[in-house]
Each structure stands twice: as structure tokens, then as C-alpha cells.
A and B are shown apart, each in its own frame.
Chain A
Amino acid sequence: AQSVAQPEDQVNVAEGNPLTVKCTYSVSGNPYLFWYVQYPNRGLQFLLKYITGDNLVKGSYGFEAEFNKSQTSFHLKKPSALVSDSALYFCAVRDGGYNQGGKLIFGQGTELSVKP
């Protein structure tokens, strides 16, 4: 079965510093990977995805992610963190093709805290 793991429950970063939120995956076949952000009492917002092609994927709000096949990782990064980036971040992998449901399986989430 497809799965993702987020090894850190919480990441603390100072504003202006680079941030990294880690994700590793376990899949059979080619992985379709995603990052989402959730603010308190809100739904999830899509940030970016890796389907194929360049290993560095750029997304919304200045975020990017690096796909590393040898390390089975898909870490989320941002060069300069903002206080407003503080939120809960989820990594996800698709399980099954679109006609089979195309379900997203999520990691447990990482709480990002950016301090001024």
C-alpha cells in the first residue's frame, strides 16, 4: 500500500530563515506526491505536486519541493519563512489511478511555527 511519513511533529523557524518540512514515501510504481497546508479550522489548501519531470517543483506562496527518488523523499522548502506561513502541513501520495478512485493518503502532518 502507498504511504507517506512526516518524521517531525513540529518545526520551528525564525522569520527570514529557510524552512524545510520533511516527507518520505513508500509506493509501488511511480509516485504522485502532493503538499497541502491547513490553517486552523479550515480545509486543506493545495500547494504543489510532483507527477513527473523536474525534481524541483515550484508551488504557491513561494514554496517548492524536491523529489529525491534514491532517498524516497519529497521535502517541502521555502527560502525565507514568513510568520504567516505558520500552519499545519501535510504530505500526501495518490493511491490508485483516477478511475480507481485516485485517493490521497496523507501523512500525520507537521506543525510549522515561524517566530518573528
Chain B
Amino acid sequence: SQTIHQWPATLVQPVGSPLSLECTVEGTSNPNLYWYRQAAGRGLQLLFYSVGIGQISSEVPQNLSASRPQDRQFILSSKKLLLSDSGFYLCAWTRTFEAFFGQGTRLTVV
């Protein structure tokens, strides 16, 4: 069966510090991969998606970047965090129609 791992679960970082969030998927190959952010409240904003290794599409220009160095690995990064980067970050994958989500990373920038 397929599983998705996302870490860390929580993170507190100072403004201006770098960020690296990692997501890996097991039990499938060549999935589409996604990063979403859920700000305080509830809305889910799609940040990046990838249809293959090294292929990244950005939905919203901002202080973040994404990379896919391996087929089942998706990384969300920032060189310098802003207060506005705080939120709940969710990684997801799909091979057909529905997407499956990781457990999320709660990022607080202080």
C-alpha cells in the first residue's frame, strides 16, 4: 500500500532563517506531487505541483520554492522566512484522480 511521510510535524523558526520541509511517498512510482498551505482559518492554497523529477510548477509567486530531486521526494524551501510564511503545510500525491495527504507541518515564524 502507499504511504506518504511528511516531517517535521511542528517547526518554530525565526524570521530570516531558512526552511526545508520534506515529503516522501512510498509504494508508488511517478506520482504527481503537491504542496498546499492552510493559513489560519481553513482555506487551502496550492503552492507548487510536480508531474516529474525536476519539473516544478508554481501557483503563487512568493517567498518559497520547491524541488523534486527524486521521483518520490518533494521538498519545500525558503532562503529567508517571513512572518507571513506561518501556516500549516500539507504535501499530497496522486496517481489517478483523488489525492492523498500527509499529516502536515505546523510552521510558526517568530
Interface, chain A (partner B; CB < 8 A): 32, 34, 36, 41-46, 49, 51, 88, 90, 94, 98-106, 108-109, 111
Taking the nearest CB of chain B, how far is it from the CB of A22, in angstroms? Answer: 16
- Contacting pair A43 B98 (CB below 8 A): no
From A35, which residue of chain B is reached at the shortest CB distance?
A: B98
Taking the nearest CB of chain A, how far is it from the CB of B26, in angstroms? Answer: 16
Query: With A101-B32, A101-B49, A109-B43 as given contacts, are A49 and B104 in contact (CB-CB < 8 Å)?
Result: no
Taking the nearest CB of chain A, how far is it from the CB of B67, in angstroms? Answer: 16
Rounded to whole angstroms, the CA-CA distance of A37 and B106 in the bound complex is 18
**Range of interface residues on chain B?**
20 to 34
- Contacting pair B97 A94 (CB below 8 A): yes
From A6, which residue of chain B is reached at the shortest CB distance?
A: B42
Interface of B, secondary structure class, is strand
- Contacting pair B32 A44 (CB below 8 A): no
- Contacting pair B42 A108 (CB below 8 A): yes
Give me 11 A-to-B residue pairs in the complex whose CB atoms sit less than 8 angstroms apart, sorted by A's number. A41-B106, A46-B99, A49-B97, A49-B98, A88-B42, A98-B32, A101-B32, A103-B34, A103-B46, A108-B42, A111-B42
B90 cross-chain contacts in A, Cβ below 8 A: 43-44
From B46, which residue of chain A is reached at the shortest CB distance?
A: A103
Rounded to whole angstroms, the CA-CA distance of A5 and B94 in the bound complex is 23
Rounded to whole angstroms, the CA-CA distance of A17 and B4 in the bound complex is 35
- Contacting pair B100 A46 (CB below 8 A): yes
Taking the nearest CB of chain B, how far is it from the CB of A8, in angstroms? Answer: 12
